[in-house]
A and B are shown apart, each in its own frame.
Chain A
Amino acid sequence: MGGPMSEALLAVNDLKMHFPVKSGLFSRTKAFNLAVDGVSFSIKPGETVGLVGESGCGKSTLGRCITRLYAPTKGNILFKGVDLAPMTHKQLLPFRQNIQMIFQDPMESLNARHTVGEILEEPFLVHGIGNRQSRHQSVTRLLDIVGLPSRSASRYPFEFSGGQRQRIGIARAIALNPELIICDEPVSALDVSIQSQILNLLMDLQKEFNLAYLFIAHDLAVVKHISDRVLIMYLGQIVESAPSEMLYRNPLHPYTQSLISAIPVPDPHRKTRRIVLRGDVPSPIAPPSGCRFHTRCPIAEARCSLTSPDLLGKQPQHEARCLLLEGST
């Protein structure tokens, strides 16, 4: 998938993040939450990989493992061939410049007691870059790049609207010229008319600075629009991976098919034949046996509850994790 390792900017290999679930008098670990359970994929320089799934599928945890906000249980996170997974905080510091993150709610991710200028100056201070004057120039330049007036520097986050705050979050993320940005639901809290402004900004910045994005979201239409390739995640595993156009035209996995059919289409003439899934997403603490999707799958057979399917290539660049597709091409 995605070509040989050498050209990948990021290559994630069999990544697992199992959170201990503690309970009882002595807080003994009783079980593990298999939030991310054996995920592999890669991102090329300048590429956008979309990551889609419902609440609790592990998509945000995966993003936080890659930025090493979490220490993964197992697996490799190769950034330009160097494994970040086992590194200590000190060892990680030089890499932090290269991998940045944009969060869903900029109000929670921006320090409310700092001015926008201070927020944008901080990355330079942390990494000891430039002097006072050059840092101030950088802040002005960053504000300009994301379309905010330079006088914003002396104001506080609460003085801005949601869309403007997200622009500040983006300015902070690009401050140190990163090569990869993890975008965790960057537009889901925004109004429709503001959402398209932010998506355009992200696409423009990508062209200008050759940024690679891991774009995490639950809205398949948004992800499909902005991504070169899309990964569909269900209960800690990737169930399908394909170039975005192919995923939409020819979804292979029954979960992907139902996700696409579930999106309400803004066209009153279209009478959708909707695949409505039964029930809720099971708990990642005790995922179903065999194929994790079999409890909700409209076409599951008896064997689906017994055997775990592998993520296999069905067509060039198109992989899916489904027993019923195995053997077919």
Chain B
Amino acid sequence: MSLLSVQNLVTEFTTDEGVVRAVDGVSFDLPPGGTLGIVGESGCGKSVTALSIMGLLPQPNGRITSGAVVYQGEDITQVDDARRQAIRGAEISMVFQEPMTALNPVHTIGRQLTEAVALHTQQTAQEQIATATEMLARVGIPEPGIRMTEYPHQLSGGMRQRVVIAIALICQPKLVIADEPTTALDVTIQAQILELIRSLQQDTGMAMVMITHDLGVIAETCEQVVVMYAGQVVEQGTVFEIFDSPKHPYTKGLLASIPRMDSAPKSTLEIIPGMVPSLHELPRACRFANRCHYVEARCEAEPPEVESLTASHKVRCLKWAAL
């Protein structure tokens, strides 16, 4: 059975210019211990999907208007606040992109770690401190006892992200949602954090949703991949299906347009022309039609449905079979 099953999720925001649908019918399943990557560009709805799962949509403008987020058999979009609080942090937790904004600058590292333990367990203050110190050591922070008493600004960017990960993992959640966890970091620090996440996942057996725009990070960390564009899933499959035989023109375009270390120097890069449409003025049928190399008349008339190629590989394109 799936640990997490997102079913036809629709999330809308009320804005000055009307209601926009930031997430439009997203579905995926994640088995216990699995890793699923959501990849897409700014505004594709990947972060809003994460916030919808966590129940952290900005209020009062954001809301889930239909669909379900089923965690261990329970639709967590329908539960009351108390139940949601109990799940969030203990069962499902989140790692944010920018550790400086995710951490509270006026509280010590120790206080921010023990807060979660105090909320979700019956531990005494002494035990909470021991748990927190041990967790800091586990994410590779030297001298954890001293760090407990320090403030976020006293740590480097990489160390702060380790603290954010420690907070997310301190109650041993079964699912962690990581929203661009390494994007703000330097490449050698990113390597450290990806190693850390990998080894923690091996030790604890937690499942993970990794949200990123970096196809390299997806290829290295994920088993399943969901490609999003303008609020919809355009393709999903195993990491091998997506990278070895991408079917959607957008996935193909993304993979072809990134400079690689072994590409010919100064060669012209493949491009996806134009830019992501605004959520206020989405194309009526296929949302990628105005940027697609293979577009034809019916693409602008008939909205494509998701079709299954294999049990795991799905694509939303009228022409995938002909490409």
Contacts and interface: CB of A to CB of B under 8 A. Distances in A.
A98 B243 CA distance: 44
Given A193-B253, A193-B271, A225 B156 contact: no
Contacts of B187: 54, 218-220, 259, 262-263
Interface stretch (B20-28, B111-119, B208-216): B208-216
A161 to B, nearest CB: 5
Interface string A138-168: 0000000000000000000000011110000
Given A196-B271, A221-B261, A277 B188 contact: yes
B219 A266 contact: yes
B14 interface: no
A268 B260 CA distance: 14
Nearest to A206: B266
Interface stretch (B64-72, B74-82, B190-198): B190-198
A272 B190 CA distance: 15
A108 interface: no
B193 to A, nearest CB: 10
A195 interface: yes
Contacts of A281: 186
A176 interface: no
Contacts of B253: 193
Contact of B213 (A48, A164, A191, A197): A191
Contacts of B260: 221, 225, 265-266
B258 A192 contact: yes
Interface residues of B, number: 48
A272 B220 CA distance: 9
A262 B216 contact: no
B106 to A, nearest CB: 23
A92 interface: no
B285 interface: no
A42 interface: no
Given A161-B275, A197-B271, A264-B214, A276 B219 contact: no
Contacts of B239: 268
Contacts of A266: 215-216, 218-219, 243, 255, 258, 260
A274 B261 CA distance: 15
27 contacts: A191-B213, A192-B254, A193-B272, A193-B275, A195-B257, A195-B258, A196-B259, A196-B270, A197-B271, A222-B259, A228-B265, A245-B265, A248-B261, A258-B188, A262-B191, A263-B261, A264-B190, A264-B219, A266-B219, A266-B243, A267-B219, A267-B243, A268-B220, A268-B240, A268-B243, A276-B195, A280-B189
